[in-house]
Structure 1
Amino acid sequence: MTICLTALPPLPISMKNGIGGLLGRRLYTGLGSAGKRFYYLDIDNLDLGWQIAQPFPGCERNDAASVTTDKGIYVFSGAGKMDTDPHVRVLTDSYFFSKDTQTWSKLDTTIPVGLLGASATSISDHQLIFIGGYCKETFDSLFAKISNASSATDERFILDSFMSQPIEAYGWNPHIWTFDTRTLRWSKLADNPYLPNCGAGLIVKDQQILLIEGEIKPGLRSLETKRFQIKANGSVECDLLHTIVQNEPKHEGIAGGFVGLIDNIPTVAGGAFFVGSQQRFQQGHLFSHQGLVKHHSNAIWQLSDSQWNKVGHLADGKAYGVSVSLDKGIAILGGENQQGQAVTDCFIISN
Structure 2
Amino acid sequence: MLITIKSEGQVMPVFTELDSLPDTEGYAGMFAGVSKGRLFCFGGANFPGKRPWEGGKKKWYKEIYMLQEGKGWLKLADTLPSALGYGITVSYKNQFIVIGGNNETGYSDKVFGYEWAGGRLKTIHYPPLPAPMANMAGALVGQLIILAGGNSSATGQAGKQFYMLDLDAIDSGWSALPSWPGRERMLPMCAVHNGMFYLFGGETTEINSLNQNYRLILDDAYRFKPEKLNGKWTGTWTTLNPMPKGLSAAGSPLPVLENGNLLFWGGVDALTALHVDPLTHPGISADVQLYNLNADMWIYAGKKQGIAAPVTLPVVNWNGRWLYISGEIKPGIRTNKIYELK
TM-score range normalised by the length of the shorter chain: 0.7 to 0.9
Tell me the TM-score normalised to structure 1 length.
0.74
Residues 174-215 of structure 1: per-residue CA shift (max 9 Å, x gap): 232112443261211223332232211111011111112112
1:216 corresponds in structure 2 to 204
**Alignment check: 8 A CA contact 1:57 1:104 kept:** no
CA–CA separation in structure 1 for the residues paired with 2:85 and 2:127: 20
Taking the aligned partners of 2:138 and 2:172, their CA distance within structure 1 comes to 16
Q: Distance in 1 between matches of 2:177 and 2:243?
A: 29
Cα distance in 2 between the residues matched to 1:184 and 1:117: 25
Is 1:119 the counterpart of 2:119 in the alignment? Answer: no
Higher relative contact order (CA 8 A, sep 6+): 2
The structure in which a higher percent of residues are helix is 1
Q: Please tell me whether residue 68 in structure 1 is matched to residue 91 in structure 2.
A: yes
**Could you say if the C-alpha distance between residues 327 and 225 of structure 1 is closer, same or farther in structure 2, counting changes exceeding 3 Å?**
farther
Q: Decide which of 231, 247, 254 is 1:253's aligned counterpart.
A: 247
Cα distance in 1 for residues equivalent to 2:275 and 2:122: 39
Given the alignment of the two structures, is residue 36 of structure 1 paired with residue 62 of structure 2, yes or no?
yes
Q: CA deviation at 1:132?
A: 1.0
Hey, what's the Cα distance between the residues in 2 that align with 1:236 and 1:204? 15
For residues 310-349 of structure 1, the aligned pairs below 5 Å read 310-312=300-302, 313=304, 315-326=307-318, 329-338=321-330, 340-349=332-341
Alignment of 1:254-333 (within 5 A): 254-258=248-252, 259-263=254-258, 264-275=260-271, 295-304=283-292, 305-312=295-302, 313=304, 315-326=307-318, 329-333=321-325
Unaligned runs of 5+ in 2: 1-9, 46-59, 206-213
Task: Say if 1:24 and 1:267 are closer, same or farther in 2 by CA, change over 3 A.
Answer: farther
Alignment match, 1:9: 19
The farther-off stretch of 214-223 and 229-238 is: 214-223
CA deviations over 1:46-70 (Å, ceiling 9, x no partner): xx22122353332212201222212
Tell me the secondary structure at the aligned position of residue 244 of structure 1.
coil
Q: CA RMSD in A?
A: 2.7
Aligned amino acid, residue 36 of structure 1: K
TM-score using structure 2 length: 0.76
Distance 1:187 1:26 in 2: 31
- For the 8 Å contact 2:141–2:197, the answer to whether it is kept is no
Match of 2:101 in 1: 78
1:174-185 → structure 2 map (5 Å cutoff) = 174-181=160-167, 182-183=170-171, 185=173
Percent pairwise identity = 15
Higher strand share: 2
Report the number of matched residues. 294
Following superposition of structure 1 onto structure 2, how do residues 5-154 of structure 1 map, counting pairs within 5 Å? 5-13=15-23, 14-33=26-45, 35-43=61-69, 45=70, 48-81=71-104, 88-100=105-117, 102-105=120-123, 107=125, 109-125=127-143, 127-136=144-153, 139=154, 142=155
- Compared CA separation, residues 94 and 326, structure 1 to 2 (3 A): closer
The answer (yes or no) to whether the contact 2:180–2:222 under 8 Å persists in 1 is: no
